[in-house]
Structure 1
């Protein structure tokens, strides 16, 4: 394993993040504040509690999941797409660096950025609600796994995309709607039985449910199912990345 190459890619990507640190961190803080104003104040005044948890606190895990998923995808996809766009990807491919080291460098940096933003949102939430974490170790594990898995997904999108518009296509049209429909701001037990069944086909439900369990000890689906969903999703992403580098799909042409 060429750790020097991994570190070089990682540091390069992190430096790009820190050059726009204020914009990168200020945006999620403002977005979180707006969500609390709209959902916490407006809707929270009508829904005081959900399964014994105040509505303002109940939406915190969903807000964090929404941000880390979209940020992980965005950072990883742009990180690998930009070298393709300017042509420096060929220098990377000709260097004595294998595909695993490239993936660890780019995905590791994107996951770190998403994790930092998730922590910032968590700290911001404490200013608005009385928040207690029932299982801090599990919360951190779910957060890291989500950051890594969706950064891997973003890396795949960055390879697949042929222009900057396509980089935002899946996060905006697929991921964000799935999060909103996946119980991020409500419990799926509040839905009619038929819609509960339909919602269980949404993979984001399992991620949000497991993360919320780490906060409040309550979940819409079994925690084991949430862990299995993350593991399966991560495994599929790793297989896709392996296939991309093995075939040279949209990298060598």
Structure 2
């Protein structure tokens, strides 16, 4: 079993509903959904586009998937997760847009936002004591020869190349898209996320995802609002 600490909006938000509808899967329930309505793309092409982000569920990576370190337990991880969420104040990204990170389409910040970078770094550091060291096979899968020196250092130090100064917040919506096909994909995504494209994005919750066996879909094991102590959470509607 692997765990991951991701940002995910609450299950009842418009963004979550739009993303689940597009990806064809709800990571909160694990339910596979029908293909989105009014697709301008062939369904088979859509399935190929969303296959990888569908497996992971709608999220932004903070602490990448990890096995538990020997001697640590899931109960300890959940306790730390709940304590971290309760002690961390929510904030917002001033403007999020549908953009591209390399060949992938994602919801990304319009411009760098230092509080977001600081938040992501704190998550990486806080849960590092729970992460088992990477195996040689895990390191090889990251193709370290293709990484920059800073990314290789991050991989060996934190278990993931794209943290700290290399972190780029993104909520993935597609797999890789060939350049000539990108405008059509953007036209498909734009109306589906029009309410969120160019709008502020509240960072107000944290999700603990699990992958029960390698290659299986990730599901949300726990979701907690930020800045809400446990005794107050029990009183939330």
Shorter chain as normaliser: what TM range?
under 0.3
Higher strand share: 2
Bigger relative contact order (CA 8 A; separation at least 6)? 2
Flag the structure with higher helix content: 1
